[in-house]
């Protein structure tokens, strides 16, 4: 009798351990990516004498190009704000969620209160 149980138990164990068995992803979201329109395009940022270009990636990273220098960081979305953090710099959260290519909008620097102009332009642009 025991010889009949061993194959059944082995099959049950293999069924649960098999990497080919599809499992539902409890973390999967059916909501659209809030920055999908930013990928492959350029976010121009201007505040006082600062002019920079920002390039977002779907893996939650970005890079800025400012006067020939490149800075890397990561991004998240909090409500209607895009939050960016680059090592050695302050974390910034500014308006931008829901914006599309061709739009220009204003916000304030959360630390200084200075006016910031954002413009989402088509394609990957070079420094001016």
For 61, the domain range is 36-121
Predicted pLDDT at 30: 67
pLDDT tens sequence across 45-79: 999 988 999 999 999 999 999 998 999 999 999 99
CB atoms within 10 A of CB 42: 20
Q: Does some domain include residue 58?
A: yes
Q: Give the CATH number for residue 105.
A: 2.40.128
CB atoms within 10 A of CB 75: 21
Q: Does some domain include residue 24?
A: no
Q: In Å, how far are 37, 71, 109, 118 from 114, measured between CA atoms?
A: 26, 22, 5, 13
The whole-model pTM stands at 0.74
Strand, coil or helix: what is 12?
A: helix
Q: Does some domain include residue 10?
A: no
For the CA atoms of 114, 37, 84, 111, what is the dihedral angle to 10 degrees?
A: 10
Q: Does some domain include residue 127?
A: no
Q: Does some domain include residue 102?
A: yes
């Amino acid at each position: 009798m025991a010889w009949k149980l061993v194959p059944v138990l082995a099959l049950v164990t293999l069924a649960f351990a098999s990497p080919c068995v599809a499992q539902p992803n409890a973390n999967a979201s059916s909501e659209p990516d809030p920055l999908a329109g930013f990928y492959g395009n350029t976010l121009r940022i201007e505040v006082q004498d600062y002019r920079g270009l920002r390039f977002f990636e779907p893996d939650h990273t970005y890079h800025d190009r400012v006067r020939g220098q490149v800075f890397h960081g990561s991004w998240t979305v909090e409500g209607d704000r895009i939050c960016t953090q680059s090592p050695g710099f302050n974390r910034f959260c500014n308006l931008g969620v829901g914006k599309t290519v061709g739009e220009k909008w204003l916000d304030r620097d959360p630390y200084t209160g200075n006016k910031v102009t954002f413009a989402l332009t088509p394609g990957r642009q070079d420094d001016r």
